[in-house]
Structure formats: C-alpha cells, structure tokens
Structure 1
C-alpha cells in the first residue's frame, strides 16, 4: 500500500491491519487517499478482514474498496456553501429567522438575537407570542396565514418586539414560505429589520418641523413628500391636501420660472441667500414667501428640503413705508418685525421695539448714537459696506435681501435675514430683520442627521457611498479603502448588555478618528463595521496608516484592559478608472480573511468527529 498512498495514510493503514491481525475483528478504513499512476487522487472507503488457512492460522488480509471521491467532494462543496450561508447571515445587520408552521423559531442569526435581546439558545424553540403583544401576535398570524394560503411573500411593518429587559423595539418583518424537497409547506423564513432608530428620527423631525416657526417641506420627484402645517397654511390648505401635489401648483404663474432658476442655483451651491416669490391661496389671495432649499437624501433617493417664511406683512409694510415717510414711527413700531432707519453714514436714526429685543439695547442707547457697523460680525462687515455704498449709486446695484450674523449685547450672535430699501432723495434706508437662528440650527441638525451615525458621530453608510461615488468620478487617485470589523462585539453585548457594546463602538470611533487624517472619510457602515476612504493615498501609505491604527489600539487597550478593542482590518487601493465598490469588496475580503485567521488561532484543536458532532445548526 505504500506504492499508492501517502506515508501518513500508509502508517494509518498499517496500524489498522495490526489491530485486525491481533483481534481478528474486521475494521473499516474510512476516507483514505489513493494516488493513481497519472498522479490524480481518489478517496476510498475500505472494509478489511483477516484471511485464514484451513487450520485457522492468519495468512493475510482481504477487503472491499468503494470509491467515495464524488461523495466527499459533494460534502465539501456543501460544507463551503453552508459556511458562506452562515457567513452572510452572521454579517448582515438585519435579523433572519425560520419558524415552523406553529410559529416556533427553529433558526435565527445573531442580529435577530440582538434585536430581540435574547440569546440564541433561549430564542430557538420560542413561539413568537413569547416576545410580542397579543395584538401583534394576531397581526403576525394573519400575515403568516396569507403567505401559507397564497404562497406569496408578505410584509408586516411597524410592530413591537418586547425584550426581556422591558425595552420595546419597532421592527418590520418580511416572510416567505419554506417547503421541503417534495414542495410541502414546513414553515416560514424571512427578514426582521429594526426600525426603532429610524422611527425615532422621523418622530423627532416631525416634532421639530411641526413646532417650528418656519414652513418646512420635502420634495421628491417634483411632488410634496412631506409638508408641515405652517407651510400648508400659507395657502389655507391642510398638509393632507398638498401631499403628492406639484409645488408649482400653488406658486404664482409669473414667478414660477424665476423660482426654478433660484432653487437650482441654491441646490448647486451658487446662491447663499433667500429668494422671494408669491403664492396663491385657496381664495385667490396673494402671499409673499421667502425660501431656502437644501439637497438631501431620503430613503436612498435625492430629494429637496425646503424652509420658508410668510413675509406678506413685511412686504406690505415696505410698500407703505415707500408711500409715506410721515408714518415711519407708527408703522415700524407695529410691524411685529425688527426694523430700523439707517442714515447714509450708517448711523441708526430710528429703531422699533423688535430691534431693541433683538440686539438687547434700548432705543435711547442706539438712535443717533450707534452705527449699524457695530452690530455686524467682522466676517460680514466688508461685504455689507460694499452693498451699502453700491446701493447709493443705484437701488439695483446691490442685493436687497441677504443673510448675515448680527452681534447683540454681551456678544450674543444671531443669524439674521435682512431686507433693505432706499428712500428716494433722502439717502436713508429702511431695514427689516428676521431672526433665522432657530431655522438655521434646524437645517444644520437635519443635514448632520442625514450624514452621520447617531451613536458614534462618524459618517454613516449613505454619506460613505455618496463620497465613494464622487471620488470615483473625480481625478484624485489613487484611492484606498480600509474595511474594519470590531471583534467580539456580540460577546460584550451578551455578557455586559448593549450599553457596554455601544460604549465599545464609541471608543473604537474615537481611536479611528485620532489615527486617520482629517481628509479621510471615516464611517460606521453597519453594526460592528467601519470603513475609511483615503483619497490620494497609495497602498504603501495606507499600510503605514494601518500600522498607526494598530499602535493606537495597543495604547488605548492599556487604559482599558477589561474590555480591550480588537479590529480585523483589510485594505485595497484603486487607481484611475477602478470601480471603488470593487475595491471595497477586496478590502472586505482581506478583512474577513484576517478575522477567520484570528478565529482559527483561538479555536482549540478537535477531532473531525467531535467538530462535526458539535457543529452549530443552520
């Protein structure tokens, strides 16, 4: 047998033959390798017996061989397929489940355990009624019954899971029918997505929007996707009446063309200040509106966030001021808007109570004593003085409305929208001011929420993918991508709870921010996944950067020995013309390879039989 097997196999066979000779008991030599003349190899299963003469004396051995190569190859392919299947289920952020026809859980992935707040051992075998309310259980029963009856997948959105710690999570569920090899229904499988944070953000946005003094709306594909009550009220409509309608339907026909131009300029970053236009109410009345727009992503698609205010009263007042200078004081004091009269040398000659409240000074401290320039932030002063002098040469030589930062008493800074009109032949200007600090803050918060991860304050997956697409179209190459996975997060969550896991993620984010450059795009793109884009960085520099990350981790872990941070890291670099999604995929594979090597290094040695017997079920 040494002629057609490896030395290791020959040694194993020799030991088995000695046992057969010693005991006389037949034995099986399972799955041993035979080397053919052409160098190819076969896997053989053999049963060996002791051969005796007529007197019962051992004279040799005989056996039966069976070629099991195809079976072994099939089992190996199945094992690899199952491993890929487990890997996919273990890495997706959504929960995956399988239940029998009675609704008892037969399998789930780690994400499902995380969402439910229950360990795998406890969750498998549990009926769905064990972690949802009675009402929700009835809804789930109807969804599963419909899937069983029609064979078609179904969905259930916004239902509550009640965790053992009493925390409720809002989730969405999809389900499909599971069948056996003969096509008989045996249960259901599907995806569970945790919608809690998304719904919380939506409620926060709605609360902020509905309580805001500004009109706020979201437009996608030329239709109102959302509009708050204040914005709808400009035209005496309800939000429900305008949802799904074309915004241009409530704009004065004479202003539609200019409005489109102004909006496009602002969306492209070419315009910074408000623009004005007229709306038509239900009864045909005209209302004046000032508006800003910002490009956003909503549910993965581009959309426009609009913010507006009704300035009809202010426009009417401006017209009255131009018509009669005698009524200055009376009109200014009753506008409800901060207003002032400005002399040619920028001395303030008149203010109303609204302006007093805005700057924190009484009229007696301002009128005839202070210049307008004393209330303007240094960053805006030069621009505003240029406007002031240009307006004296011609009313149309400078913008009549724009934004700037106003400095009040004790250095308090406000974002303000200014409208100015000159009074013919007097050199004076009438200035009205609207405090837009709250609106600017809301816009900034909304933009931040759309691009950042709420837990770690790193960029989120949406921003990461947008930047990756932008850099792919650009000229800054090479571009490197680093993929990282926080090892052991599940164990920390299981042992110490999700607050400890969240703290681990925050610490990892702080280490990464210190290790990478300011121009690098550091993002959290999944539960325990981080990704970094390094523009204009080759593989050599990227390698040095990764070394810096590992050094930073080592220093950090000295201060946190109880819960050290461990990251599996992979990187890849793309040159001009490379698809960065493909580069990300290569980096992800290298990261996963490092993770697997770590697991193998930590795994105790076991026999094939033991490891097969202890294999975790799919």
Structure 2
C-alpha cells in the first residue's frame, strides 16, 4: 500500500509540472498575440501616413477610401477615432480630415464604415481635440524628432483608459523639396483606441478562463493600464507565472501573467483545444492587420528615408546619397557636397552619371543596371568634379526595396585616392624588396600565425622543388603532401620550432641539422626563425632564413675528427677516450669495466721490419679488436701499441670472456705483405669500476693488471682484484 501512495505522489507532481509548463506556453502565446495586435494598430497609423504622403494634396474622398480598404481587410477593434492634424509650413498644408466610427466601438466583423465627421486644422492653435488628449503636443514632438510612431496612454473624461497613436507625415521627397532639420514634417495621423477592448481582442475571448494578466507602463511610473479581473495582484510573487517586457511605439510595457485565483487552469479542465483555437483566431487577425499595414506603409517608409537621409548620415565619414529610378540625386549628406564640390541646389536633380569620368561611365552603367535588378554592387571607379579634379573612389550601391520592387538606390562613396596611391607605393616597395630577397643566397620564407607560408624567395622555391603558387598558403605538412623536398620524419621538429616562435615569442637562432631530401640525399642546414610583430607588439607570424652549410660542416667534422681521433687507426685518441669515459662515469654507470692491452714485443717489430710494417701491424690489430666488441663499447688508442676500451652492463664473467677471445684472436698470424707473415700476441689487464673511482684511477688499475701479465710471461689476461 505504501508503494501505491508513493507512486500516486509522483504522478501528482508530474501532473502539476506538466500543468505549469502548459500555462507558461499559454502565456508566451498570449504575449505573441498581444505584440501582433499592437503592431497592427501602429501599422494602421503608418499606412495612413504613407497614404497621406503619397496623395498630396489630400482630399476627404481618398482619406475615407483608405479607411474603408483597411477595415475591409483588417478591422481595428477598439478604434474610436482617426484624425489627420496638420502642422507644417503655411502654403504646404493639405486639406486635413477627421474620422470617427458611427458606433461607439466597432467590433470584429462589424459592417459599420468609418464616416467623415468634421474637419480639423493645426493642433498648435489649441483646439478642443488637442485639449482632449493630455500631453499630445509632447508626443507629437517626440514623433517628429525620432521620425517614428509614438503611443500615448491617457484617461478620457469617463475614466476609460485610452491609447493615442501619433505618426508624423512627411512631405514627398523630390529634387525640389526644401531641406532642413525640421522642414519635412507636414502633420500627424492620430488614432485613438479603447485600450481594454484592443487588448482583449488581441488576447482572444477564452483568456479570462485561463490566466490573469496585468499590464503596467514602465515610462509612467508603473501605471496600471490593463487588469483583466479588476483585482490588483502586482507583487504577489507566489502566484506570478511569467513576466515579459513589451517594446511598443516608444513605450515600455510590463506584462505579468498570474495563476487564475480559482485554482484550476483551462488546460487542467480539458479546455486546451478551445484556448488554442481562440489564440489561433486572434493571432491570425492580428497578423493580417500587421501584413496589410506593412504593405500600405512601404511608400511612406521609402519617402521618409529619402527625405531624411542627410540627417541619418550627417556624420558619416563617406559621401552618402539617394538616387531615384532615373539615377537622379534625391538627397545627399554634407560629406557628399564636399567631395563632389557642388551645392545641394546644384546637385539635387542631377544624374549621378555626370560625375563619373567619361572612360568609366560604361562600368558605372553596368553596376547601376544590376542595382535596379535588386543586386547590391561594390566597385572602384574615377569621379570627375566640375572643376576638373579627378579622384579614385569605391562606390557601393544598395537597392532600396518597396513592395518587392526597387524604389530607389542608396549610394556610398569612399574617396580612396590616397589609399590607392599608398597601395601603389607599397606595391612598388614590395616588388623592390622581393627583388632583393630573391637575390639572397639563403632560402627565405615567412609564415602567418597559422604556420602557413605567405611568402618566400626564389631559392626557397627551388629548394622545395615547387612553384611559388603551390607553396603560398601551405603548412609544412601540406607541402610534404605536395611532394616538396621535405623529410617527413622532421615535420614534428619543424612544428615544434614554429610553436616556440609563434606561441612563446622565442627566436630560434642558428639551429643546425642534417636534412634528408626525398631522393635520399642529405645536406647540413642552418636555420633561424624570428617572430614577426605588429605595431602593438602582437605576434603575427615568423620569418625564416635557412642556408646550406654542408661544406662548412664537413670541414668542421673533419677538423673534429683530426682533433679527437688517431690518424692511423681512426680510433678515439687518448684525450677523446678519457672525455667519453668521464662522461660515462658522471652518470653513475652499472658494471663498468676498463680493459687495457698492448702488442707484446712491438718494439722489436719496428726495429726489425721498420715503421711501415709496424703501422700495418697496428692497423690490423685494431681491426681484429674492433670486430670482437659491441657497437656500444668504446675503443681507443692511447699511443704507440697501447689500446684501451670500456664496456657497460656486462657481468664479470662476460667481460673475461671477451678478453679471452681477444687474446686468442691476436695469436692468429698477420700477413703484412706477400712474403712476410708475423706472429704476435697481446697482454690484457682488466679493472672493474667501484664507487668513487675516477677515470685516471680506472686506467691506472687496468694498466697495472696488464703489467702483471707481462711479468708472468705475456700473451695472457689478468683481472685486478678490487
């Protein structure tokens, strides 16, 4: 039974979690509908403003016609009145109009049409309509200053919360339009909505049965604008489900969704399908209104942009202008006037082609045709001012779309004369530098931060056996894959060198190595790699210089061989042998044996047969001994007929075995020429290393052991007793 209760607990928890998730999904869906509903009423205003802009002079018939079309496609629930308020210069005022619904508030699907009611003039005279909406003057100033739609919540005489929407109306753009900081605004379209009805319609009718919603205006001290159940619940965090910020027409609203006070949500009551149907219907209606508004306000957006281009790009560092479809200047910023050397009056209405140098006009015409087809273009050309000045420029043409077609073209011109001159000077400098580098005897290359070759001289390309085009952009691994003359076994070494330079900033200077080519040949190279840095000291790459030092290295090795080896037997001489023995003793070897031996009665051989025969005997003796030893054993000639070797890691018995074989091998006759065969022998002394013994002590003990053999008749072996 306990198990059943536990399972029931978890099931209940799962249901509650699922319910919470569903309710939050509801809140997000309601928020989207709310945003679409608000967008549809701003689109209504902006579409009408576009209609007014493109219908100058405005008559009541065209004004009324727009309202009828809009209501047929997308009714505006909660709409109370629509007013066009003029506010431009004298002589520019179109005939203003005002409309109000015949009923109090037309609902969705209403057949009531907005009718002409009365005519209004500029609100600046303090008319009754102006007095009816507090702060309308400030809202219109904000709309004119920002060039955008501004929303203003307020309360009417009955205490109902209303929403006034203000959209500025601009004079149509054209070459003859007067330009000025504020001269483009002719008036405003103002629509007023009953806020409660507008929001309820956007959310959908089933909303009351699902969640509670409160909306506050953050810009009005958190003033409550909407409360669907009349019970203020702000601050009740325990029942707060979700909170969102809605940005809308210059307002910042806080929307807070709460659990329904009654407890059960519509989802738990099995009404999810009904709710989703209501959300879908209200969302589709709001979306339809939004799409119609976008279509109707496109001309308005295009006109406002062209009219205010000089404001938007006032401080732009490049010349910016707007062209109509006939390629005439509609508007320009101040930088364009300076660059083109013309006044605004001279430039407006002029075809841009007139400013292009004659030999470049065909190029400009091709890019213009591409822009008219909706394709942005960027190209370099030459402009020619009226006073004959010519300058290089980069031109960017951006087609401005309206209703799916090109309505005009935005142009941006950058004067690149100085940059091009510098680029040409830099190119000449680079060619000179490349010529110098190509004539250096070393192989020179430079890489970027990713170890890719970005440049090299002729010798480096010849060394790799590749054309420069196949080298640039490659890493060492990729060059190896392209059959460059690089030893694959050395790739890891090269990579580590590059990492030291690029990551740690360490210079690799004079690194010498024996390099093997793919064809099996070898050579000695000396390479240096230095970090390359930018003006801020950041590492941007490396410079490598490599040279073939084979001849020098062979000479050095030859000198080293002469200095360290016996010229007759090519064995290490006394000094070099002692050096190697000391190095071995320095690392505390295990079971080290030193064997000291010579040729018995060698003096008599020299005295009887001469030194040439004696040298032949020495060489033959050294060869026999060398064949008996391991590669790791070190054999040296101390002088005359005295030899020595040391071995590591062998037991006492193993060392004695080697020495016994040595004695036996030397007994074999040595043929020195066609007629002479000599019989020789050797005396061998052995000393084993003990802790603390030096190289000289070991040699001395082995030498003494050898003389024990001499004293006992020669041709034998004696091991020192340590």
Calculate the TM-score normalised by the size of structure 1.
Answer: 0.38
Which one has the largest radius of gyration? Answer: 2
